Amino acid sequence: MKLWKRLMCTARRRSPWLFHMNSGSCNGCDIEIVAALSPRYDAEQLGVRLEGSPRHADILCVTGPVTQKAVNAVKTVYGQVCGPKAVIAIGSCPATTNVFIDSRTLVGPLDKHVPVDVYVPGCPPRPDAIIQGVAKAAGILAERGNTPPGSATAVATIAVEEAHQ
Amino acid sequence: MTILTALARLLIFPGLLFAVPAAWFFLWVERKAVALMQERVGPPFMQPFFDFVKLLGKDTPPRSGIAGLLMRAWPLIAVSAAAGAVGLLPVLPSSGGFEGDLILLLALLELPSVCIIAAGFSSRSIFGEIGSAREAALSVSYNIVFLLAIVSIAASQHTFRLEALATMHPSFLTVLGILAILICLPAKLHINPFSLPNAEQEIYAGPMTEYAGPELAMWELSHGLEWVAGVGLVATLVAPHFAIAWGGAWLAACIFVTISIAAVLLLSTLAAATARLAIDTSVRFYWQCTLIFAVLAISSALFVRFRS
């Protein structure tokens, strides 16, 4: 039983499948997510796969400052991802709403609506920072297992300098 | 074939004990080959195994009623059919078999595709239904060519027994038939350029859109087993029959595995080098371009048979 748990932990760490969701982003961060999967950065080395359906995903990558139009979709998609799951806020927008702060069309930041595990700041963040964020989220996922997300112990931020080293 | 040898073939070689690791290995070879073609490093060796274990540990959305029961049943039926198809392959010499096992093999190879169609419709997701409709249209197109190719090989050898086909002398007709089978395999395995049933991102995940957790793991496994069965069929038809006389079972098994890997590499290279075709182009490809050769093959096979 213990062996199975350890195997499951390794498998969760080594096989993060992503679902990418745009909640009103300017498309800058979305391009960087695609760049992270491209030959130059090749996130598939870590077992990352960009999935078409949220049902298949482990990690929800949200970009954008969460507009009024998008907030219900974000909550629905978060519900559609099957547990155990993690959420990454990619870019400065979902973390702080960035330059759009105080806009009347926004209901962000993201952590008001769904529990966020990893923040990858940057406008847009570099692909290597995104890959590091995914690796960190996969680690959190492996440790946390089936316990509900959002507990304060598991929040990590990828410092921009750290990712650049 | 006694019950004991049948069980050994189904459970050990070339059945489950060999086929499941082989399925993971082929899935890895496919992804790695695509990655290398795109100048990437690609996934680690154990990746399909980790994916499988991780999916087993995930939750599934609550499902109730007959539809939920069916949705849970389809992947299991697909996996058992694909595993049975692999178990029927005459890899080892004098491994038994019975008259007409080729027909059973064809039926078992077809079952996963039928399950995918049914799964997409019973998931009641609009993307699943589109994917299933595409799969149905594609299946009607390539199966004609696939079946005609197999029937032409069988008719030229006067038998529907797999073991007799595995030890046949190669002729022009059999080469044509094997080529036609190879042309149909990308559509059967849903890889590029015929990846439109599960067209990822385009229609979310096609028939698999609503599947999660252990059920999705079973679909991945059945896809891998389809790989093993599909390329295994080609490998048993291509494998030189004199190898069995020379080296016995071990050499036969080694040759089977080598030819299978070569076929996987060939198909993955094709998948990496091509883009997804639209449904009308794919259907036209099989009905207009390939069907002519299949009809030629079967008519010449029948001609040869009636002259002799």
Confidence at residue A148, expressed as pLDDT on a 0 to 100 scale: 64
Question: Is the per-residue pLDDT at A152 higher than 50?
Answer: no
Quickly count: other Cβ atoms within 10 Å of residue A112's Cβ.
10
Q: Are B304 and B70 in contact (CB under 8 A)?
A: no
What does the pLDDT look like over B204-242, one tens digit per residue?
888 998 999 899 999 999 999 999 999 999 988 887 766
Domain with B149, as residue range(s), is 3-307
- Structural domain count of chain B: 1
pLDDT tens sequence across A122-133: 999 999 999 999
- Cα separation, A115 vs A156, in Å, equals 12
Q: Is the pLDDT of residue B275 over 90?
A: no
Report the pLDDT value the prediction gives residue B245, as an integer from 0 to 100. Answer: 63
Q: What DSSP state is assigned to residue A157? A: E
B202: which chain A residues are within 8 Å (Cβ-Cβ)? 52
Amino acid (one-letter) located at B84: G
A54 Cα to chain B: minimum distance (Å): 8
Contact (CB<8Å) A42/B41: yes
Distances (CA, A) of A24 to A52, A54, A104, B162: 19, 18, 14, 58
Mean pLDDT on B63-81: 91
| CA–CA gap between residue B244 and residue B233 (Å, rounded) | 17
Which of the residues B34, B51, B54 would you substitute to probe the A interface, choosing the one with the greatest number of A C-beta atoms within 10 Å?
B54
Which of B195, B58, B61, B79 is closest to B124 using CA atoms? B61
Q: Is A143 on the interface with B (CB under 8 A)?
A: no
**Structure token digits, residue B129:** 């239904």
| Residue length of chain A | 165
| Domain spans, chain A | 15-164
Q: Which pLDDT score, from 0 to 100, does residue B246 have?
A: 67
Chain B CB contacts of A51 below 8 Å: 200, 205
| Assigned fold of A15-164 | Rossmann fold (3.40.50)
Closest residue of A to B203, CA-based? Answer: A52
Least confident segment among B8-22, B74-88, B102-116, B273-287: B8-22
Residues of B in contact with A149 (CB under 8 A): none
pLDDT at position B32 over 90 = yes
Report d(CA B50, CA A46) in Å as an integer.
Answer: 11
pLDDT at B244: 62
Cis peptide before B44 (omega within 30 of 0): no
Stretch (H or E) spanning B166: helix B162-166
CB contact under 8 A, A39 and B38: yes
Whether the model pTM is above 0.80: yes
Inform me whether the C-beta atom of residue A123 falls under 8 Å from chain B C-beta atoms.
no
CA separation for the pair B223, B225 (Å, rounded): 5
CB nearest to B54's CB, from A12, A51, A146? A12
Q: Is A56 in Cβ contact with B212 (below 8 Å)?
A: yes
DSSP state of A84: S
Distance CA B268, CA B32 (A): 9
Query: What does the mean pLDDT of chain A come to?
Result: 88
Please write the tens of the pLDDT for every residue from A44-102: 999 999 998 999 999 999 999 999 999 999 999 999 999 789 999 999 999 999 899 88
What confidence score (pLDDT) does residue A153 get? 46
The CA-based diameter of chain A, rounded to the nearest angstrom, is 52
- Where does residue B5 rank: exposed (0-12), middle (13-18), buried (19+ CB within 10 A)? middle
Peptide bond connecting A124 to the previous residue in cis, omega within 30 degrees of 0: yes
Start-end of H helices in chain A: 2-14, 28-37, 68-80, 92-96, 127-144, 160-164
Residue A157 confidence (pLDDT): 61
pLDDT per residue over A23-57, tens digit each? 999 999 999 999 999 999 999 999 999 998 999 99
User: Cβ–Cβ of A82/B212 closer than 8 Å?
Assistant: yes
Residue A10: list chain B partners with CB under 8 A: 50
Which has more pLDDT, B252 or A8? A8
CA-nearest of B179, B106, B252, B298 to B170 is B179
A101–chain B nearest CA distance, Å: 32
Residue A87 CB neighbours (<10 A)? 24
Residues paired with residue B204 on neighbouring β-strands, in sequence order = B201
Instruction: Mutate one of B49, B58, B71 to test the A interface: name it (highest A CB count within 10 A).
Output: B58
